[in-house]
Amino acid sequence: MNETASNANVTNQLAPVMLVTGSAKRIGAAIIHAAHNQGYRVIIHCNYSEHEANALADMLNRSRNNSAAVIIANLAIVNNDMDLRRFATQIFATFGQLDVLVHNASRFYPTPFGHINHAQWDELFLSNAKAPLLLSQALMPHLKAQHGCIISLLDIHADNKPFSSYTVYNMAKAAHRMMVQSLALEMAPYVRVNGVAPGVNILPEADSDQAIDPVQQQNIIDSIPMQRVGTPDDIAHSVLYLAQADYVTGEIISVDGGRSLTLAGGNR
C-alpha cells in the first residue's frame, strides 16, 4: 500500500460514525449521502429495502473504501431485550464506535377516528416512539463514550397542530418530540439530543398506503409560504448542522418553508 492510500485508510478509520434508521431511500438516504460527503462513516439501516440499501453502500464504498455498511432489521426487535442487545452489539461492531444516531424510520398513514384498531396503534407507536426510545437507551453507552448525539426526525404536526384523520400518527410523533426533550436532560452533558421537524419535504409515493391525492397535494403547496415542496436535502443539511452543533441540545428545528407560521391544523 502506498503512503497516500495508507494515510487515507487511517483518516477513514478515525472518521465519526453515523447510523440512520430507515435510510435506504428518500430522506434517510439523503442524510446518508450528506454525512458521507462530510467524511462520516455511515451505517445504513433498512427492513424491506435491502436491494436499495446495498446499492447505496456499494456506491459510497467505491468512492471511499470501507466507509458504508448495511444493517437489516425490523425495529420490532425492541420488543425483545435479547434481540435488542444483539442489534446494539452489531451496530457497534460495524465500525467499532458510534457518534451519531439518527431516528428516521417511520410509518405514516391515516387512522380515521371510529376505525382505529390495535394493529395501527402498535405499528405507528412502535416506529415513531417506542423504537426510538429503546434504541437510544440500548446505544447510550456507545454514544456517551464518543460524546455523541441523537437526532430525531419529527413532524410539524407533532406540536399542537394535528393533521386531520391521522390521530395515532400525531400522538406517536408528539410522544417522540417529548422523548427528544426528555432525553436532552437525561443524557446531558455527555450526549446531545435534538430534533428536526419537516413540513412537506417529500411527498408519499403514489402507490403506497401513505399516498395523498393530487388536489390535497396542491392545497398543501398553496399553504406553504415558500410555495414549493421541500427536498430531502433540506432535512439532511439540518441534521448535519445538529450533528456538529456542540452547544445545542433539546432543540427542534422546523424545516417547512414557513408552513408552521400559517398552519392551523386539519390539513397536511
Residue 230 lies in a domain: yes
Residue 30 lies in a domain: yes
> CATH code at 152?
3.40.50.720
Task: Please give the tally of structural domains in the chain.
Answer: 1
Residue in 114, 105, 126 with CA at minimum distance from that of residue 167? 114
List strand residue ranges (DSSP E) for the chain, in order: 17-20, 41-46, 68-72, 100-103, 149-153, 192-198, 252-255
Q: Helix (H) and strand (E) counts for the chain? A: 10, 7
Residue 7 lies in a domain: no
Residue 92 lies in a domain: yes
Residue 62 lies in a domain: yes
Alpha-carbon distances of 205 from 137, 202, 212, rounded to whole Å = 32, 9, 8
Kindly report, residue by residue over 57-88, the tens digit of the pLDDT: 999 999 999 999 999 999 999 999 999 999 99
Q: What is the pTM of this model?
A: 0.91
Kindly report, residue by residue over 213-256, the tens digit of the pLDDT: 778 778 878 888 998 889 999 999 999 999 999 999 999 999 99
Decide: 259 and 155 in contact? Cβ < 8 Å: no
Residue 171 lies in a domain: yes
Helix (H) / strand (E) element for 120: namely helix 118-125
Identify the pLDDT of residue 61: 98
Q: Which domain covers residue 99, as residue numbers?
A: 16-254
Residue 217 lies in a domain: yes
Residue 249: Cβ-neighbour burial (10 angstroms; 0-12, 13-18, 19+): buried
Identify the pLDDT of residue 130: 98
Q: Is 169 a catalytic residue?
A: yes
The half-sphere exposure of 27 on its side-chain side, counting CA atoms within 13 A, is 31
The mean per-residue pLDDT over the stretch 195-208 comes to: 80
Residue 188 lies in a domain: yes
Residue in 199, 180, 190, 49 with CA at minimum distance from that of residue 103? 180
Query: Which entry of 40, 109, 169, 190 is annotated as an active-site residue?
Result: 169
